[in-house]
Structure 1
């Protein structure tokens, strides 16, 4: 049998571990160390980015095949990703400043509007709805009107502290 002191220590340990357990805000969906929100609004890439930042999040950054499959399953319409080549044409990076480590472009993309002046510069990335998860990214004009997906990290970042 355990002593009252041992049980008290175990209880304190479990309570602390439960309090440390991270969860997502209401309406968000958890996958690994992030929470995701599919917006109910639509707007430009900048509007989506600002909405995510207002929620202490960022437009989604995809850095694994598993995350790509998860985000693709969340997606019910074409949606903005955090992907853009606004600073340098052809150099795609995420809204949080990180470089691409994985790519799931639809065949023939990105094509910057295929040099069609009517389409303008296509500097922002979005996720096609109902395409195969391993090839559903496309570049689009940043002022196009789409929904977006926000991502909020909830686990401590490795290497910090």
Structure 2
């Protein structure tokens, strides 16, 4: 009976794929019983019955394979599309950036540095040095000289370097000129008692020989291009400095 069932299945399979078998050569002599021989008239029907479920199973396998293949194609297509889109977007962005900026990167920073502007020195006989303007002024004593400079937005000149000293000497024009250097009334006589009215440190000095002598509390730039102390009520013209 087992042999018969196997043979039926074989017949069904052969019928499905359109093949024929030589069963006499396949089976040993006497292996097929009389029942199977008697049933040859119904062999085609049996084969058809056995092939039906096999057809269904094969169709299911083929359907599953088609679904998997379709899924694989969809995944690959999606991946390829994403990659192509990303590449196109990157290329477009690079092209746009290069076209807009000429290949340079826009940092978004603004240059706020202010270029140096030459100082205007409109005062008569005024001369600029760096960002400062120096000019002579007609005045009287030290206090009036100080007030006259301040009225013009300046102050009595302060000299803190050799270069500045030379520049002021070029404006002095042969006269003693008040400086913005003074010591407090009643303070000890000596260089250490003098201070610039702008509170700058007295780092540069050009006192003449024997100066300060104690002659006064205010300092002047003398005609010999050195400094001396003098009574603050003495009539002298100043040099003014505008920052």
TM-score by length of 2: 0.48
- Matched with 2:219 is 125
> Which 4+ runs in 1 deviate beyond 6 A?
none
- Matched with 1:111 is 213
For residues 141 and 123 of structure 2, the distance between their equivalents in structure 1, rounded to whole angstroms, comes to: 25
- Higher fraction of strand: 1
Deviation at 1:22, TM superposition (A): 3.2
Task: Flag structure 2 segments of 5+ consecutive residues without an equivalent.
Answer: 1-110
Aligned residues: 125
Is contact 2:123–2:135 with CA below 8 Å preserved after alignment?
no
Q: Which has the higher contact order (CA 8 A, sep 6+)?
A: 1
For residues 140 and 172 of structure 2, the distance between their equivalents in structure 1, rounded to whole angstroms, comes to: 16
- 1:38-49 aligned within 5 A: 38-39=136-137, 41-49=138-146
TM-score by length of 1: 0.71
- Matched with 1:9 is none
Deviation at 1:23, TM superposition (A): 1.9
For residues 17 and 104 of structure 1, the distance between their equivalents in structure 2, rounded to whole angstroms, comes to: 34
- Matched with 2:103 is none
Deviation at 1:111, TM superposition (A): 1.0
Aligned pair partner of 2:151 in 54, 62, 66: 54
Aligned pair partner of 2:230 in 117, 140, 154: 140
- Matched with 1:100 is 202
Q: Please tell me the root mean square deviation across aligned C-alpha atoms, in Å.
A: 1.9
For residues 73 and 17 of structure 1, the distance between their equivalents in structure 2, rounded to whole angstroms, comes to: 28
Is contact 1:45–1:143 with CA below 8 Å preserved after alignment?
yes
